A and B are shown apart, each in its own frame.
Chain A
């Protein structure tokens, strides 16, 4: 194997065509958008891919979450016990009885994989930031909030603070200084999972969530 490495690199070095290096990077400037424009475009884009967006406030999003889960008659809702949303979610569920049971697991997913795959109806996660231009959530999973929460359950609720909406993908990377250190996984999510592999006809809900519900906190 190490021979293959040397052979490939050697061939590339020997064969490298003599071409001038490109001069000057091409930059494409975009006008800066204010918060209102970012929110409006984000909502339009999300709607165009069948994601639901609800405008909420710091105070009322947990109640809204409970209502939305109940509307869908979800029997349970998964959340991360040590995640950034835990305290507020828990307090919303103690106030009232809800038909949706709140569930949480601290163990590694391997230990309750069957439950995750076959018994969890929905999950709620935090969102690091968003991209307004294309209507995208940026999830940066952590030890506290695992990757599979936004992937396996059929309904994904995502809580995003509007102030964290960037204009473009490039802005998000630049402002948040991603190059300083990438985590195990970053995932950009733009709508529920979908496919057009049969006759180019869009069908939602393939292998990821069937529904994406965004709570946009102002």
Chain B
């Protein structure tokens, strides 16, 4: 179903919510300032971005070979690898592991791929209790909402919202709006859950083909808990997260936390290469790695659009986006919001449904400049705008040409016709400039909050001629 109307409704709702706008505005301003401070040497930053882009581009170029190598190394290390073409297959793979262990509950670290899979919903339908353990994810799960930012999931909520939510869900805990107290309450609640959990699930930030190592970036320690305490650890990842060598990790780690939150490094960087070995006294006895495609291999086929697969999910593009900062993450209606979401999601879900997202951009270029791996986001947003109106028979997989309208294409055809016929063009300009008084004061939606544009008395050509600029 076309999402245009729903999107516009969500945008309207978000724009009218002053609390929400204030939350996003102050957070995005803070994150932009912190990122800038974390990269004091701008020349070095540009070199690092080139290096980061090259590492990711190289990994994508060798993607099938690296995935095979990753599988081979992981298997040799004792990690079991599962391949999933679709979300359904990935969910089934997780369910199967749960059932093999007669497990009825799952504790989760932060994972955007599990959001993409709608894993919680799927497992709950099969009678499995799923608990988010990242503080922000825990809060949005309590509220029954999806995350609104990929790094700061509960950023749309104020401390008062969260205090009320805790009071409602945990009436035994005294009411508090103090951030530290709220955080400690969550620690106490979740500590018991970590203690009891038999299966933990995490995402993956980088998977190293050379050594078969899964890398996880986090601050809270819940990721370490999920991957250390339960007897079984399941990691879910998109197939694009692989890098070739261990030495690719330090440059990416120099970029990721600084771009995301302005930290030099996160509190924990957790590198997992095998399940518990003989004689080791803790750690999971089984580690599983689920590799999810879900449309990534189709994005991969296009040499330009594949650049979006370089993404390391830092969120800098949304932090810098003037549209995201005003409408927030929920308005997009997709797993990943913001500029990168507007590029990736319509490719996965179809331009026929989500073609509106690439249009929700001013093409100001801030996202492309902030991206640590130099994904040319404005160019890709523009490309998707073109794809959805191009003169092709609508295509089922991606929805090419699905947003083409007769009126719009007629207008542009006229435009190009006029521009290629100088006499006609000059006549048109003459009319417009001489009859400019006839432009109506009211121009639909445009003039609800703006004045109608005034047409100048003389065209640029006329002005140039008067100034004596030769028309070569």
Contacts and interface: CB of A to CB of B under 8 A. Distances in A.
B211 A206 contact: no
Interface stretch (B184-192, B365-373, B423-431): B184-192
Interface residues of B, number: 98
B466 interface: no
Contacts of A200: 26-27, 30-31, 152, 155
Contact of B250 (A19, A148, A168): A168
A214 B61 CA distance: 43
B33 to A, nearest CB: 11
B14 interface: no
Given A4-B83, A15-B297, A146 B281 contact: yes
Contact of A207 (B64, B191, B246): B191
Contact of A170 (B83, B152, B251): B251
A94 interface: no
Interface string A92-133: 000000000000000111100110010000000000000101
B50 interface: yes
Nearest to A170: B250
B250 A169 contact: yes
Interface of B is mostly: helix
A86 interface: no
Nearest to B26: A200
A191 B221 contact: no
Contacts of A136: 265, 269
A175 interface: no
A13 B251 contact: no
B283 A147 contact: yes
Interface stretch (A32-40, A57-65, A67-75, A179-187): A179-187
Contacts of B254: 169
B250 A192 contact: no
B136 A197 contact: yes
B11 interface: no
Contacts of A184: 272-277, 280, 283
Contacts of B159: 198-199, 201
Interface residues of A, number: 74
Contact of A9 (B27, B57, B68): B68
B202 to A, nearest CB: 13
A143 B283 CA distance: 11
Given A179-B247, A182-B213, A192-B267, A147 B297 contact: no
Interface in A10-50: 11-13, 15-19, 21-22, 25-26, 28, 45, 49
- For the complex of A and B, the 3 pairs showing the least CB-CB separation, nearest first, are A208-B221, A15-B301, A197-B136
24 contacts: A5-B71, A8-B67, A12-B297, A15-B300, A22-B58, A45-B264, A134-B265, A135-B264, A146-B280, A146-B283, A148-B282, A169-B250, A170-B250, A179-B246, A183-B273, A185-B272, A186-B271, A198-B135, A199-B179, A200-B26, A203-B180, A206-B219, A208-B224, A208-B268
Interface of A: 1-2, 4-5, 7-9, 11-13, 15-19, 21-22, 25-26, 28, 45, 49, 107-110, 113-114, 117, 131, 133-136, 142-143, 146-148, 151, 168-170, 173-174, 178-179, 182-201, 203-209
Interface of B: 23, 26-27, 30-31, 44, 47-48, 50-51, 54, 57-58, 61, 63-64, 67-68, 71, 82-85, 89, 93, 133-136, 139, 152-155, 157-159, 162, 179-180, 182-184, 186-187, 190-191, 194-195, 210-211, 213, 219-222, 224-225, 228-229, 239, 245-247, 249-251, 253-254, 261, 264-277, 279-283, 291, 293, 297-298, 300-303, 306
